[in-house]
Structure 1
């Protein structure tokens, strides 16, 4: 992997940061994109200190104009974007106990915000970056879904589950549309990964997941990142339209 450019959303921390760092360490130039400018810049500066070509960009992925501007800035600074990782996502919880809002009590604006970030955000990035990939005749897109998009998970809200299930359909359809242009589209469905988002849930709930996971532990962001590196490399050139669970066997489907 060399002289390739990756655009990773939600790259300021957690799974997104791990994926962006892993791609950078694999030799790609990386645009660290996050809604928090400080987190994006800090992550990019750390990569630059390791000798990687990188840039930190602030963008709310639910805002197409902001995404388009970030895509242009990434291309101007690093070159044509060949790899897109749609990682940005939110999973709001209610109260200090990390409890989800049930469908009948969920504020409509909370539903809209989750769909806007988790699903429309991925569309916005594809809309902004896929024309350039088509022009190059190659590209890799990885969407970060969730095992909650495959089956019932009592930790997350219905908005999160719906957005992740939609991302799986989005992945398969895009794989069909973009395949003729040399672009692969795949998804990763993480299970319970030890991230700041996960720690927003009650510890008792996370412990219950650990005990119900065949490997009897929570996942690490770097384990998701390793799968992302594979799906964006030449080794996966004949893999498209697939969903890879990285969940330790939890919620097997």
Structure 2
């Protein structure tokens, strides 16, 4: 693959599974030296065996996030890219959603994003061309789905954070952008079964579901010199999923 990110160093939070792993593998393939965090040592082991620097981390813990980032940045020899990807997507109906349900998802998806950015800031500024890329979603920003109202709220909150952070960090030569995945073939999605996957693919104009590497390529662009003048923006990576007005718009395409 190209040397798009040759000489860059990156941390990918939530980088041991699914989209996060796809991001980590693509960044490395483009020449970056990459460290990943996962929730447990068990999650980290396969990535460590694959040659990545790894550390277990719960991004809800701000102090631990700073500590882990300091360790990984020292091993990497600096930091120029943060891919803040750690997140969860539990389902809950509004009528029965508990305070604990709301706190859990906001603490990881929103506060965890802020904790990661805070921990990365000194090294990103020192690099002189820092890049922050958040993994948000089409859900909450462009679409909705039953039982994911709290999830959608966290994904919209990430973009609200991104826009103001992009302004605040611009004088430090740090850009802040986001990718908005649609339906991506992660292990969790595959577990839904072939019938579900086929139905979801029919809702995508391109006719197939994306792979984690598709998200990784968007992150790689935003982390590259080619995106040096792009900040406060989001890239939708969904095969056109958000475009049709209704399922009928795709009927003649099949």
Answer whether TM exceeds 0.5 for this pair.
Answer: yes
Secondary structure class of the residue paired with 1:11: coil
Moved over 6 A (4+): none
Match of 1:40 in 2: 44
> Does residue 243 of structure 2 align to residue 252 of structure 1?
yes
Structure 2 equivalent of residue 23 of structure 1: 27
Partner-residue secondary structure (3-state), 1:164: helix
Instruction: Name whichever of 231-240 and 33-42 sits farther off.
Output: 33-42
Q: Is the 8 A contact 1:188 1:243 kept in 2?
A: yes
Q: How many residues align?
A: 240
- Residue 51 of structure 1 corresponds to none
- What is the TM-score when the length of structure 1 is the normalising length? 0.89
SS in 2 for 1:109: helix
Cα deviation, residue 42, structure 1: 1.8
Instruction: Select between 155-164 and 241-250 the one with higher mean Cα deviation.
Output: 155-164
TM-score normalised by the chain length of structure 2? 0.88
1:4 positional shift: 2.1
Report the RMSD for the aligned CA atoms in angstroms: 1.8
* Uncovered stretches (5+) of structure 2, i.e. residues with no partner: 245-254
Give the superposition deviation at 1:130. 1.0
Report the Cα distance in structure 2 between the residues aligned to 1:144 and 1:125, rounded to whole angstroms.
12
CA contact 1:186–1:243 (8 Å) conserved in 2:
yes
**Contact 2:10–2:81 (CA<8 Å) still a contact in 1?**
yes
Deviation at 1:236, TM superposition (A): 1.0
- Counterpart contact for 1:210–1:216, Cα < 8 Å: yes
Q: 2: CA distance between counterparts of 1:28 and 1:83?
A: 9
Query: How far 1:202 sits from its partner (Å)?
Result: 6.9
For residue 183 of structure 1, the aligned residue among 147, 162, 174 is: 174
User: 1:16–1:41: structure 2 CA closer, same or farther, 3 Å change rule?
Assistant: same
Q: 2-side partners of 1:59 and 1:22: how far apart?
A: 22
What residue ranges of structure 1 are gaps of 5+ in the alignment?
49-53, 93-99
Which sits farther off after the overlay, 128-137 or 211-220?
128-137
Name 1:96's counterpart in structure 2.
Answer: none
SS at match of 1:3: coil
Within 2, Cα distance between the matches of 1:62 and 1:197? 22
2: CA distance between counterparts of 1:156 and 1:233? Answer: 36
Tell me, in whole angstroms, the C-alpha distance in 2 between the residues paired with 1:220 and 1:156: 24
State how far apart, in whole Å, the 1-side matches of 2:146 and 2:187 are: 15
